[in-house]
Amino acid sequence: MFKNYFKIAWRNILKNSGYSFINIGGLAIGLACFLLIAIFISNELSYDTYHDKKDGIYRVIHHSNANNPEDAWVWGNAPIGPALKSDFPEIIEKAQFSGRSDILLEYNNRKFQEGECFYADASVFNVFSWPLLNGDARTALEAPYSIVLTESTAKKYFGNENPVGKTIEGIGGRANDGTYTVTGVMRDIPQNSHFNFDVLMSMSSFRQSRSEIFEWWGYVDFYTYLLVADNFDQAAFESKIPSFLEKHLDAEEAEEYYYNFSLENMNEIYLYSTADRQPGETGSLSNIYIFAIIGLFILVIASINFMNLSTARSLERAKEVGIRKVIGAERRGLIYQFLGESLILVLIASLLGLGLAFIGLPWLSSLTGNVFTMASFMTAPILLLYFGTSLLTALISGSYPAFVLSGFRPVSVLKGAFRTSPQGTNLRKGLVVLQFSISIALIASTVVVYYQLGFMLNKDMGFDKEQQLILDFNWDNQVLNKAEAVKGELLALADVSSVSLSRTVPSSHFPAAGTDIETYEGNMENFSPYIYEVDNNFIQHYKIDVVAGRAFSPDFPADSISSLIINEAAAKEFGYTDPNQIIGKKFQQWGREGTIVGVVKDFNYISLHSEVAPLTIRQVPYGRYLSLRISSTNYTKAIAAIENKWSQLAPHRPFIYSFLDDAFNKQYIADIRFRKLFTIFSCLAIFIACLGLFGLATYSAMLRTKEIGIRKVLGAEVSSIVTLLSKDFIKLVGIAIIIAIPFSWYAMRQWLNEYAYSIDVEWWVFVLAGAIALSIAIITVGFHAFKSANNNPVKSLRTE
């Protein structure tokens, strides 16, 4: 019997190959999209799960804003780590890293500036699951000037030889200079890690160069992780924090600045952390929800197509059902048969979807920046989810057609009196409305996502970031010792119109500084704004507007020792609504005292994800970057000339450059990836919906073939027949537009709330989405209507 069911199912698939192709193809694409989204989400949820002790690893989060205790930093002070380990027996181990530190390494004339480097405690390998391929994990980072390289970094310098015991030179930095001994080679950090690096240097090396900061509670340059005992109670621990701080912070320090801290579990870091100064990228839980919803929508649309076409074709199977029932077939057997046919179709679609997903893996890798392979989805959980979803899809989408077909009355069917029930017709219409409501919502959402990112990339940031070439010489003393001469030589080039030296540039790393500023009452109030250390030309070079006072100038030599410029946000932080009122007020910052000489207009020196934060700017004779404004549009020629001059000025250093707008826009990589993924999956969902409408319109036109023939014989025009066949579908799309507008408006408003600066959801977005959906429906349905209207009526009426 089952063999017979399979034969009948297979014959029906071949007999109606067009509908079978639409059914199987649409479902296969839907399942492939669902699988790719599941792989992407699974990867996002897998961050840091490779650590054996992940449940017992916590990170210290620092709070230093009394006005907003929720304002948090991952980056913090050094002494908190040893103090916590000493005072709390439930803390088994502490592991600290310095802030990211770039270093130029050289071995046998091979030089590379490594940008992902950290000083680290020797205990890091006791806390984290980072296995060493060569070397002893227990001692690898103990001795001063020890260095551990990742496998790929070691190969750059040493090829396939074992580098342990060899020496490598650190050149031209500040604390980084020296001869390092390679004490270990570790596996490359897995891609699903919130903390990535290429080089670890021993913390004892850093301690030798700046030992005093390891005692300063107000100095921030460290990431602190703790490994706790199995019975650790986080709530009980955090209740002891006030007494801990009272013990370790003296009264003068506690009065000078606000400080508190909390703990964050390793499992919460990537998706849930809201703290600033992360050591790596963090994910977005809302984006995971969005993609999960899109995956579900795609599956729902594909299932709707399957159900619609199956029920619409029930008339063709009516006589078969009637004959089967007359010769004794039971309804249960018919249900099994039609469910079996549904399962066969879904099985074929799921296998095809598996192949499509495999083909799509390289595309997913290129879009997300992660590497996905066959092993990415050939895992038990993923395959169980995939085939379980396929089975559920088959049962849900095939159950209604099965029960409808098996419920036909044989007497009515064999007399030819059977007609499609109003309930079945209304169900199909309802499903069309549902899938086009989803499609319209996705179209509107895609437009909003596209324009929000365009707004972020093109918004006036308050400074000139166009045609700015940034040279990174990484604090090289040989360059700094002749900084003014270097600037002069570069400025003399024909393609360079301005040069500035600074510790940081927009989008790059910048510190914060404990700062006291005089209030209205004459008191000195302390907080920790961000700080830019620049030369006297920086503000003019970047065309930053001065709204009160003045910029730094060579005409005021005292600017380098006693002047400070702040932004509008910093002035407001200290209670000055009028920036002119803070000019001349006293300040104290990092050993420097003087007066505020200027206030600059707020400029977005970080991405538009955050509002402009308080910033102080002071003049210094040192820095890491040279900013060059290029006056020529022939960038190839200009870069070649600059590189040639650089090889004369600093022959010992590689020519490392970037354009500021490109570097700044890298802050939006995650947003760009999100837009691409969202747009592509939304378009696929819309395509699947159109595929279903295409099949349904084809079938609807086929059912009315004789009606169309009679109308043509009676003189009906092609336009009236096209209108007749199209208007019902157009009405359904109109209803879908009305349903989709409020849903998509609310969803997009919630998504935009995550951005400090965002677009407004304009009315034209929904008009555009509705127009696109209507156009798609008109083209899809109108094609078949026009084709049917132009058929020869003789062919359709000759059997009457």
Express each pLDDT in 240-298 by its tens digit: 999 999 999 876 666 667 789 999 999 999 999 989 889 888 888 988 999 999 999 99
Phi, psi for 201 (deg, rounded to 5): -115, 150
Coil vs helix vs strand at 193:
coil
Are 397 and 310 spatial neighbours (Cβ–Cβ below 8 Å)? Answer: yes
Decide if 462 is inside a domain: no
Q: Is the per-residue pLDDT at 754 higher than 90?
A: no
Residue 674 and residue 662 share a domain: no
Q: How far is the C-alpha of 672 from the C-alpha of 457, rounded, in Å?
A: 10
Q: 81-103, pLDDT tens digit by residue?
A: 999 999 999 999 999 998 778 88
Decide if 648 is inside a domain: yes
| For residues 538-542, average pLDDT | 97
Residue 149 and residue 87 share a domain: yes
| Residue percentage of the chain with pLDDT more than 90 | 48
Decide if 691 is inside a domain: yes
Segment holding 791, helix H or strand E: none
Decide if 49 is inside a domain: no
Residue 673 and residue 644 share a domain: no
Tokens of 49: 């799960």
Q: How far is the C-alpha of 552 from the C-alpha of 169, rounded, in Å?
A: 38
Decide if 147 is inside a domain: yes
Residue 193 and residue 149 share a domain: yes
Q: How far is the C-alpha of 570 from the C-alpha of 568, rounded, in Å?
A: 5
Decide if 688 is inside a domain: yes
CB burial readout 534-567, b (16+ within 10 A) else e: bbbbbbebbebebbbbbbbbeeeeebeebbbbbb
Residue 73 and residue 39 share a domain: no
For the ranges 13-22, 65-74, 368-377, 567-576, the lowest mean pLDDT is seen at 13-22
Phi, psi for 229 (deg, rounded to 5): -70, 165
Question: Mean pLDDT of all residues in the chain?
Answer: 86
Q: How far is the C-alpha of 153 from the C-alpha of 165, rounded, in Å?
A: 16
Q: Is the per-residue pLDDT at 174 higher than 60?
A: no
Of 653, 668, 683, the last residue of a domain is 668
Coil vs helix vs strand at 363:
helix
Nearest to 685 by CA among 783, 776, 779: 776
Q: How far is the C-alpha of 539 from the C-alpha of 552, rounded, in Å?
A: 8
For the ranges 121-130, 484-493, 613-622, 717-726, the lowest mean pLDDT is seen at 717-726
Q: If you ran DSSP here, which 8-state letter would residue 265 be given?
A: E
3-state secondary structure 539-606: HHHCCCCEEEECCCCCCCCCHHHHEEEEEHHHHHHCCCCCHHHHCCCEEEECCEEEEEEEEECCCCCC
| CA geometry: angle 82, 84, 87, nearest 5 deg | 105
Residue 637 and residue 519 share a domain: yes
10 Å Cβ neighbour count for 569? 16
Tokens of 753: 């709330």
Decide if 108 is inside a domain: yes
Residue 446 and residue 302 share a domain: yes
Residue 545 and residue 481 share a domain: yes
Per-position DSSP letters for 407-422, written without gaps between them: T--HHHHHHT-----H
Q: 692-742, pLDDT tens digit by residue?
A: 777 676 666 666 666 777 776 677 776 776 777 677 778 888 898 999 999
Q: Is the per-residue pLDDT at 325 higher than 80?
A: no
Phi, psi for 76 (deg, rounded to 5): -150, -160
Are 346 and 394 spatial neighbours (Cβ–Cβ below 8 Å)? Answer: yes
Which residues, 6 or more positions from 653, have their beta carbon under 8 angstroms from its beta carbon? 104, 172, 473, 476, 478, 479, 646
Strand-strand pairing, 199-202 and 117-120? parallel
| Residue percentage of the chain with pLDDT more than 70 | 88
Q: What is the pTM of this model?
A: 0.85
Decide if 693 is inside a domain: yes
Q: Is the dihedral of CA 650, 651, 654, 658 positive or negative?
A: positive
Nearest to 341 by CA among 400, 391, 409, 402: 402
Of 623, 640, 668, the last residue of a domain is 668
Are 566 and 484 spatial neighbours (Cβ–Cβ below 8 Å)? Answer: no
What angle, rounded to 10 degrees, do the helices at 483-491 and 635-649 form? 150
Can you tell me which residue has the tokens 């009405």?
731
* Identity at 284, one-letter amino acid code: S
> In Å, how far are 61, 87, 248 from 242, measured between CA atoms?
15, 13, 10
Nearest to 451 by CA among 703, 213, 760, 211: 760
Q: Is the per-residue pLDDT at 415 higher than 60?
A: no
Give the pLDDT of residue 37. Answer: 93
Residue 425 and residue 493 share a domain: no
Of 215, 237, 272, the last residue of a domain is 272
Residue 438 and residue 328 share a domain: yes
Give the pLDDT of residue 91. Answer: 96
* Identity at 467, one-letter amino acid code: Q
Q: 295-321, pLDDT tens digit by residue?
A: 999 988 888 877 777 666 655 666 677
Q: Is the dihedral of CA 709, 712, 716, 718 positive or negative?
A: positive
Q: Is the per-residue pLDDT at 574 higher than 60?
A: yes
Q: Is the per-residue pLDDT at 332 higher than 70?
A: yes
Tokens of 215: 């005692």
Q: How far is the C-alpha of 95 from the C-alpha of 184, rounded, in Å?
A: 18
List the domain range (segments joined by +) for residue 382: 2-44+286-456+669-797
Residue 435 and residue 372 share a domain: yes
Max CA distance (Å), the chain:
107
Q: 417: pLDDT confidence band, cut at 50, 70 and 90?
A: low
Helices (H), 369-496: 374-377, 380-406, 410-415, 422-458, 477-480, 483-491
Instruction: Report the C-alpha dihedral over residues 709, 719, 783, 296, rounded to 10 degrees.
Output: -110
Q: 49: pLDDT confidence band, cut at 50, 70 and 90?
A: very high
Q: How far is the C-alpha of 599 from the C-alpha of 539, rounded, in Å?
A: 11
Q: How far is the C-alpha of 425 from the C-alpha of 417, rounded, in Å?
A: 17
Per-position DSSP letters for 723-782, written without gaps between them: HHHHHHHHHHHHHHHHHHHHHHHHHHHHHHTTSSS-----HHHHHHHHHHHHHHHHHHHH
Nearest to 605 by CA among 639, 568, 636, 635: 568
Helices (H), 459-544: 477-480, 483-491, 538-541
Which residues, 6 or more positions from 268, have their beta carbon under 8 angstroms from its beta carbon? none
Give the pLDDT of residue 451. Answer: 92
Q: How far is the C-alpha of 537 from the C-alpha of 551, rounded, in Å?
A: 9
When divided into structural domains, the chain yields a total of 3
| CA geometry: angle 414, 417, 419, nearest 5 deg | 115
Q: How far is the C-alpha of 735 from the C-alpha of 612, rounded, in Å?
A: 44
Give the pLDDT of residue 423. Answer: 59
Cross-strand partners of 148: 184, 200
Residue 499 and residue 381 share a domain: no
Give the pLDDT of residue 464. Answer: 94
Give the pLDDT of residue 618. Answer: 97
